[in-house]
């Protein structure tokens, strides 16, 4: 297929166009051979017959091609990569892992004072601290997976360029690193809920499971997609950083959903756009599980602020379906972009 | 894709009509792209690193790969290793492939030698138990002693490549690839590595050895491929009367010999 492009070869242009060029190339080759002839010692072959090695395997492409599922099958390698990622994050850092708690703690404090105390949500929204913290925990998980995942392949370029391993492993391991960071916060959230008194019902449980699935699927799909794109255009890690900052304001955590619900009739387009965000849906569903559980246990379940969108569960199922489709599409695009990754790094 | 005859069970590597093109991008930012478009300059150019390369290697063969710098040797090795995929054609391998692509296989500078050892071994397909079993042997061969628990960023380049080679060589692979990684080691270590490679070769492992050193290739390989500007120009197996020496003669363009003195001078300046 490439015979028609014979003359386009840059090396050919340079070296093997004319006889003179060829002569010079020959000179270079001879000189190099002279110089390097002794660069490696010669070691004679072993005495005795060469064994015949019977390889009990099929002829397959050496390039890894299992996709996300292939990555999950290589648990041991994934564990090592996660450990490597953690080691990199906290090398030369005094507080180490503590940073992933300090940041959300500071964020919580600032938001609590600005929105809770200054803007008075503290009074209007029952259990405002839990409402806020619940949002922060899951948005933190999302933005760490999304942001870190987007940079993951670029950060690990030394490995990607030289070793044959499924590249999906980097965004996936970032999702696991984010989980390791978020898990203690989740424990803290559960603890605060239980201390404040908490109860649940079937709707609550279904909401909680749906919300978790949506946020994980969506974050992994985006991380996968953008990790490959970011290699081509490094602008995306900045764009993703900006999206992550916006995300704090695009979900009901600093303000209750009841504030947004009022716009459904007056600004239907904006309202639908707001509601189309999977992270927003997930946070609403998780608020239903954690925060509303506390409200109900404290007899504040029908407070004016404790409003949830109509058809919340149906919307959640559809969102989850859309996120799964996005995950499949992201994997397809990733596989296509992956072929050119090593040379772009 | 469309192989009429299935290759026999002893075939180790199949490379069929392989082309690999790199895109050279000249302009990366929007501003540069706009300026270049206005001046009608090309935005990118493709560079064909390999064109229509085909060969098969039997299990147990020891193949030397020679050619000038930039002739596509490393690209071919990366395709066989699975780091890259060809756009056209197929590359197939049988069994476990281990090898070293350029110096300092994917080590992470902040991790210690021990951690990098486990990570690298895992990528090459070794499980936890297997790595632990071979751990002492690998460390002993690499001879890095008490630096094992030091981050590899503190290693000398020799230690770096010793550890890399030691891991790759202990993988018990069916196909072993060696790029010019050994070039940084000192002479005793190079000798030790080549001896180890001869041992592997005697066990029936397929070996792919890239080197400019003719004597070394002659002793290590029973077949030589020569690449020139991305094309397979000489294969000592398929060429009539082909031999390792024939390939070396081919590479040196032995039809001309008027620059002996110049070469000697250059050699002198480097020593």
B187 vs A contacts (CB less than 8 Å): 41
| B68 Cβ under 8 Å from any chain A Cβ | yes
B83 vs A contacts (CB less than 8 Å): 63, 161-164, 342
CA nearest neighbour of A328 among A69, A81, A64: A69
Least confident interval from A18-32, A218-232, A242-256, B149-163: A18-32
pLDDT band for A238, please (50, 70, 90 cuts).
very high
Nearest to A1 among B88, B212, B218 (CB): B88
Backbone angles phi and psi of B112, in degrees to 5: -75, 170
Task: Give the pLDDT score at B152.
Answer: 85
Nearest to B122 among A39, A53, A80 (CB): A80
CA–CA gap between residue B56 and residue B62 (Å, rounded): 12
Task: Give the pLDDT score at A21.
Answer: 65
State mean pLDDT over A169-179: 94
A10 with B47: Cβ contact below 8 A: yes
Q: What percent of chain A has pLDDT over 70?
A: 89
Count of CA atoms in the C-beta half-sphere (13 A) of B183: 16
B220 with A161: Cβ contact below 8 A: no
Task: Give the pLDDT score at B182.
Answer: 65
pLDDT band for A2, please (50, 70, 90 cuts).
very low
B108 with A43: Cβ contact below 8 A: no
Both tokens of residue B7?
A: 């290759």
Least confident interval from A65-74, B20-29, B196-205: B20-29
CA torsion sign for B70, A59, A161, B112 is negative
Res A12 pLDDT > 60: no
**B211 min Cα distance to partner chain A (Å):** 8
| B91 Cβ under 8 Å from any chain A Cβ | yes
Task: Give the pLDDT score at B263.
Answer: 44
Task: Give the pLDDT score at B104.
Answer: 57
B80 vs A contacts (CB less than 8 Å): 62
CA–CA gap between residue A175 and residue B122 (Å, rounded): 20
Least confident interval from A33-37, A160-164, B265-269: B265-269
Contact A61, B79 (CB under 8 A): no
pLDDT band for A26, please (50, 70, 90 cuts).
low
The two beta strands, B62-66 and B223-228, are parallel
B170-215 residue pLDDT tens: 888 899 988 876 666 778 888 888 888 888 888 889 999 888 888 8
Q: Taking the model in full, what pTM does it have?
A: 0.84
Cβ-proximal residues to A41 (8 Å cutoff; 6+ apart), any chain: B187, B190, B191, B194, B215, B216
A109-153 residue pLDDT tens: 999 999 888 888 888 889 999 999 999 999 999 999 999 999 999
B267 with A35: Cβ contact below 8 A: yes
Task: Give the pLDDT score at B234.
Answer: 84
| B125 Cβ under 8 Å from any chain A Cβ | no
Counting one residue from chain A and one from chain B, the pairs whose CB atoms sit within 8 A come to: 235
Which of A55-59, A67-71, A146-150, A181-185 is the most confident on average? A146-150
B54-82 residue pLDDT tens: 999 999 889 999 888 778 888 898 899 88
State mean pLDDT over A195-213: 94
- Whole-number average pLDDT of chain A: 85
| B52 Cβ under 8 Å from any chain A Cβ | yes
* Beta bridge pairs of residue B210: B65
**B246 min Cα distance to partner chain A (Å):** 15
Backbone angles phi and psi of A164, in degrees to 5: -90, 100
Interface probe, candidates A22, A41, A65, chain B, greatest B C-beta count within 10 A: A41
| B75 Cβ under 8 Å from any chain A Cβ | no
A273-303 residue pLDDT tens: 999 999 999 999 999 999 999 999 998 888 8
Stronger pLDDT, B262 or A309, i.e. the higher one: A309
Backbone angles phi and psi of B52, in degrees to 5: 50, 50
**B252 min Cα distance to partner chain A (Å):** 5
CA–CA gap between residue A258 and residue A112 (Å, rounded): 18
Contact B161, B181 (CB under 8 A): yes
B94-110 residue pLDDT tens: 988 887 775 556 787 87
Interface confidence, given as ipTM, is 0.82
Residues in chain B: 271
Q: For B1, which residue in chain A has the nearest alpha carbon?
A: A61
B52 with A3: Cβ contact below 8 A: yes
Stronger pLDDT, A326 or A156, i.e. the higher one: A326
Interface probe, candidates A52, A163, A173, chain B, greatest B C-beta count within 10 A: A163
Task: Give the pLDDT score at A115.
Answer: 87
B234: helix, strand or coil: strand
Task: Give the pLDDT score at A23.
Answer: 66
């Amino acid at each position: 297929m490439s015979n028609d492009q014979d003359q386009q070869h840059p090396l050919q242009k340079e070296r093997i166009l004319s006889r003179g060029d060829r002569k010079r190339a020959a000179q270079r080759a001879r000189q190099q051979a002279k110089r390097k002839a002794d660069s490696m010692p010669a070691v004679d072959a072993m005495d005795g017959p060469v064994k015949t090695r019977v390889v009990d395997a099929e002829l397959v492409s050496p390039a890894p091609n299992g996709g996300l599922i292939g990555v999950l099958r290589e648990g041991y390698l994934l564990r090592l990569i996660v450990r490597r990622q953690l080691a990199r994050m906290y090398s030369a850092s005094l507080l180490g892992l503590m940073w992933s708690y300090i940041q959300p703690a500071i964020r919580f404090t600032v938001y609590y004072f600005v929105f809770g105390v200054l803007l008075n949500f503290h009074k209007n929204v029952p259990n405002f601290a839990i409402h806020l913290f619940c949002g922060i925990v899951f948005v933190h998980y999302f933005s760490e997976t999304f942001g870190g995942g987007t940079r993951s392949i670029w950060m690990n370029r030394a490995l990607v360029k030289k070793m044959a391993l499924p590249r999906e492993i980097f965004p996936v391991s970032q999702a696991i690193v984010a989980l390791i960071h978020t898990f203690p916060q989740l424990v803290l959230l559960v603890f605060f809920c239980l201390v404040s008194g908490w109860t649940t019902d079937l709707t609550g449980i279904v909401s909680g499971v749906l919300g978790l699935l949506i946020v994980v699927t969506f974050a992994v799909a985006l991380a996968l997609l953008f990790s490959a794109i970011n290699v081509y255009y490094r602008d995306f890690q900045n764009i993703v950083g900006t999206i992550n900052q916006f995300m704090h304001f695009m979900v009901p955590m600093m303000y209750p959903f009841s504030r947004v619900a009022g716009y459904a009739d007056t600004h239907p387009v904006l309202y639908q756009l707001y509601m189309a965000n999977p992270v927003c849906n997930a946070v609403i569903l998780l608020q239903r599980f954690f925060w509303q559980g506390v409200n109900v246990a404290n007899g504040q379940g029908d407070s004016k602020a404790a409003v949830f969108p109509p058809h919340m569960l149906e919307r959640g199922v559809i969102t989850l379906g859309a996120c799964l489709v996005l995950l499949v599409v992201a994997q397809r695009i990733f596989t296509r972009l992956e072929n050119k990754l090593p040379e772009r790094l | 894709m469309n192989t009429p005859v299935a290759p026999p069970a002893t075939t180790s590597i199949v490379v069929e009509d392989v082309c690999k093109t790199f895109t050279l991008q000249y302009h990366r930012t929007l501003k540069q792209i706009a300026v270049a478009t206005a001046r009608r300059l090309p935005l990118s150019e493709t560079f064909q690193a390999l064109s229509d390369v085909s060969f098969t290697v039997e299990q147990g063969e020891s193949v030397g790969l020679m050619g000038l710098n930039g002739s596509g040797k490393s690209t071919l090795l990366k395709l066989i290793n699975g780091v890259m995929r060809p756009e056209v054609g197929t590359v197939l391998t049988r069994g476990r492939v281990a090898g070293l692509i350029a110096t300092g296989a994917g080590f992470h500078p902040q991790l210690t030698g021990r951690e990098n050892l486990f990570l690298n071994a895992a990528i090459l397909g070794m499980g936890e138990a297997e790595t632990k079993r071979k751990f002492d042997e690998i460390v002993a061969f690499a001879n890095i002693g008490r630096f094992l628990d030091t981050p590899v960023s503190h290693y000398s380049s020799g230690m770096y490549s010793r550890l890399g080679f030691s891991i790759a060589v202990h993988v018990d692979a069916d196909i072993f690839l060696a790029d010019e990684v050994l070039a940084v080691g000192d002479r005793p270590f190079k000798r030790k590595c080549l001896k180890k490679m001869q041992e592997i070769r005697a066990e029936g492992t397929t070996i792919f050895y890239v080197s400019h050193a003719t004597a070394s290739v002659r002793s290590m390989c029973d077949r030589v491929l020569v690449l020139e500007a991305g094309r397979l120009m000489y294969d000592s197996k398929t060429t009539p009367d082909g031999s390792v020496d024939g390939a070396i003669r081919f590479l040196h363009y032995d039809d001309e010999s008027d620059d002996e003195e110049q070469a000697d001078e250059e050699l002198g300046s480097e020593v």
